[in-house]
Amino acid sequence: MIRSKIVFLLASMAVFLTSYAFADVRIKDLVEIDGVRGNDLVGYGLVVGLNGTGDGLRNSPFTEEAMTNLLERLGINVTGENFRSKNVAAVLVTAALPPFARAGGRIDITVSTIGDAKSLLGGTLIMTPLNAADGQIYAVAQGSVIAGGVTAEGDGASVTQGVPTSGVIPAGARVEREIAFDFTEMRQMRLALRDPDFTTAARIERAINDRFGVQIAEMTDSGTVRLNLALANAPSPAHLISLLENIEVDPQQRARVIVDQRSGTIVLGANVRISRVAVSQGNLTLRIQESPIVVQPNPFSVGGAPIVVPNTTVEIIEGENTRLALVETAVSLPEVIEGLNALGVSPRDMIDILKAIKAAGALHAEFIVQ
């Protein structure tokens, strides 16, 4: 009963994905605008206020050095003191500066320990400069850390849920420097497809030109569509983007099979096709069991001692209902899923079957193993 429900659910999901795989998508969801990009930021800081879960300063001397420098900048001299606080943790702070971020704006940050701290729960990040790849400071972070997990331990056992050594601070950094980029001075613009495809790029070109009635878009390759802003007759590049980003097109996708061997996850694209092939999934188990028998000496025997007699049981078990399934030519995604589930195989066995079908040349899709 449970297996039939699972098969029905997977088949229903496959039909749903197939039905909507070719729905119209907005251009803004398919492309990135050349020059409009974020920038990664990173900084080194300290989290204080931990309840004895910070770095062990003997194992993390960099934490003690950073804390000493911080206190000296605040006018407190601790040089030569026996400073052994466990309420401090050294962390790396990461963030992404979004495009067109202005000074005074707020961005989210992620805080991660680099020492042997056990948890950041309840900690507060002290003012931390965030640098970009050019070495300049673009933001300053500070605030209370929201940890992503919790740890509890006793004398004989411990339990950890989530990742307590990493956390986030929503709007925890303030932008101090803006990226020097004048969007209004652009005379030509390129749209970069997130998933390069010649057919999709051609459809974007045609949809934009039909919308404006002028040949302002030109496909240069599978991943780029170039726009001529002078022919668009728009007040500014920003106005032009606002007019074209909501135009809908029908994108094309390459047939892909994505396999995650660690979790046993399989994702099949709607365009996956399989040629006529026969599939059989076997389940052969070899079981060896040792049950030694202790034999005692006879009563009143002189010098007798118990001996151990080996007792080994060897059994070969072949799975029931092992069948040979025939997959017809160019079957669709729902039929692929229904046929594989009909064999009664587990997800990991299904991964091996898909690998074998690909090796046989019958799987017409890009096979990606993660």
254: confidence class by pLDDT, cuts 50, 70, 90: confident
Give the tens place of pLDDT for each residue, 53-73.
888 766 677 777 787 778 778
Domains in the chain: boundaries:
2-20+256-285+319-369, 39-175, 182-249
Mean pLDDT value of segment 233-242:
85
321: confidence class by pLDDT, cuts 50, 70, 90: low
3-state secondary structure the chain: CHHHHHHHHHHHHHHHHHHHCCCCEEHHHCEEECCCCCEEEEEEEEEECCCCCCCCCCCCHHHHHHHHHHHHHCCCCCCCCCCCCCCCEEEEEEEEECCCCCCCCEEEEEEEECCCCCCCCCCEEEEEEEECCCCCEEEEEEEECEEEEEEEECCCCEEEEEEEEEEEEEEEEEECCCCCCCHHHCCEEEEEECCCCHHHHHHHHHHHHHHHCCCCEEEEECCEEEEEHHHHCCCCHHHHHHHHCCCEECCCCCCEEEEECCCCEEEECCCCEECCEEEECCCEEEEEEECCEEECCCCCCCCCCCEEECCEEEEEEECCCCCEEEECCCECHHHHHHHHHHCCCCHHHHHHHHHHHHHCCCEECEEEEC
Predicted TM-score of the model (pTM): 0.64
Mean pLDDT taken over the chain: 78
Give the tens place of pLDDT for each residue, 189-231.
889 998 888 999 999 999 999 988 889 999 999 899 999 888 8
Weakest mean pLDDT among 186-200, 274-288, 320-334: 320-334
